[in-house]
Chains A and B, each alone.
Chain A
């Protein structure tokens, strides 16, 4: 049974069809949520929210595009909104923690490639990071990304190119290590 039939049956209240849709797509949604969130609990929440939202809004799926495309648009929206909310809460927590540690000298960790890479990707503007993660890490096509983010394909390509350029600049000091 293909996605379209499963959607029809899901709309009729068939829980088994919903489960089949979930099984078919949950891995990719969870991977994206995890890549973007970096935390298991948050990735789990975002994935669950995505499917609850998708099943609630299933009657809005017109079948113009593939179900997976539509689902990933829902997922991207849920993930980005969830992360924005989390970011605001984190910022407040960080402010409070910073106030607690005034005058305390932080321990200095040895800078290494992985840590710097992590920081560099985290430091990308949200729009760049999203495209970089979706395309370079999770293998989404520019067309899928464009649909999910509601932008033009060219915009997706431009953002990816700028994200890569910024990462190259940020990680310049490791260039020799990489070439070697």
Chain B
């Protein structure tokens, strides 16, 4: 803030203090009555055990005790046999192309398939989402970029890209299924490419009318992911939130064509460590695919 702007900034703050949602007197007693009654209800529920109704207990101690109590150590033999069967099954899967089979099955599922909730997801989280393999075609990204990315994805094969994206995510968000993780990874890849281009100043709104469309498309997708279980892990949630903020700034700067907005967005990108975090989240594998490089102009 320079000296010329300072008094105006202070006056804005002072006016806002006076007129922006000025709080009324605190309804202390009414609120306490509600807080106390809710806490009492919670305590009663805890005591009677009605508050927590686990859908599926993590372990079943009675069942384990029952098995161990079988005569002649039969329970142990059953356990060993079960472990052997599971081991054999896993071995067959790893040798016999089980991954391919699952990839084929995933490809065969129609777009917009409702994915079942993962074990630790609530039924509400079982949402209808676009299949990750179809993400590139469904994206509202500019046609030339989207098609270029599609072409690359097609060359690599969907299972390869999906696997790569999964392995890149070293710490998958708890409670998020594979489709969400793959979709998030792809999205972060694209966003990193976009922000890298925006920062380097290779593309500017006036030079490339699709720049704004690209930003809006990424913004919309970020907001969708924020509202999905993909954003359940706090770290991923923060990353997506910061990305949303940055993209919103870029969209505003493109839409208004205001150099001041563009400057604020550019400064924000420079000051934040967003690109670095995106790179670390994607493993630094983002490819600036399908990006036209017009003549150099001033950056955001």
- Judge whether B60 is part of the interface by a CB distance below 8 angstroms: no
**Known interface pairs A31-B23, A137-B20; A169-B258 also in contact (CB < 8 Å):** yes
B268 within 8 A of A: yes
Min CB gap A82→B, angstroms: 15
Whether A117 sits at the interface, judged by CB under 8 Å, is: yes
For residue A143, CB closer than 8 A to chain B, the reply is no
Q: Which of B22-44 contact A (CB under 8 A)?
A: 23-24, 26-28, 30-32, 34-36, 38-39, 42
Q: Which residue of B lies closest to A33 (CB)?
A: B23
Pick from A47, A128, A136, A168: contact of B16, CB below 8 A. Answer: A136
Interface residues of B, dominant DSSP: helix
- SS class, residues of chain A in contact with chain B: helix
Chain A residues near B8: list those with CB within 8 A: 168, 175, 178-179
B94 in the interface (beta carbon within 8 A):
no
**Which residue of chain A is the closest to B20 with respect to CB atoms?**
A121
Taking CB atoms and an 8 Å cut-off, the chain A residues in 115-165 that contact chain B are: 117-118, 121, 125-128, 132-133, 136-137, 150, 155, 158, 161-162, 164-165
List residues of A (23-48) whose CB comes within 8 Å of B's CBs.
Answer: 23, 26-27, 30-31, 34-38, 40, 43-44, 47-48
Q: Are B248 and A125 within 8 A (Cβ)? A: yes
B86 interface residue, CB < 8 Å from A? Answer: no
Contact-size category for B:
35 or more
Interface string of B241-258 (1 = CB under 8 A from A): 110110011000000001
A105 to B9 Cα, complex, angstroms: 36
Minimum CB–CB distance for B266 against chain A, Å: 12
A114 to B27, CA, bound (A): 26
A43 surroundings in chain B (CB, below 8 A): 23
How large, as a class, is the contact surface on chain A?
35 or more
Give the nearest-CB partner of A55 in chain B.
B39
Most buried by B among A15, A113, A165: A165
CA distance A44 to B32 in the complex (A): 10
Cβ of A14 to closest chain B Cβ, rounded Å: 12
Contacts of A175 in B (CB 8 A): 8
Partner-B contacts on A (CB < 8 A): 15, 18-19, 22-23, 26-27, 30-31, 34-38, 40, 43-44, 47-48, 51-52, 55-56, 88, 113-114, 117-118, 121, 125-128, 132-133, 136-137, 150, 155, 158, 161-162, 164-169, 171, 175, 178-179
Task: Report 5 cross-chain contacts, Cβ distance below 8 Å, ordered by A residue.
Answer: A117-B20, A118-B19, A164-B1, A178-B8, A179-B7
* Ranked 4 nearest A-B pairs via Cβ: A34-B23, A136-B13, A38-B21, A31-B23
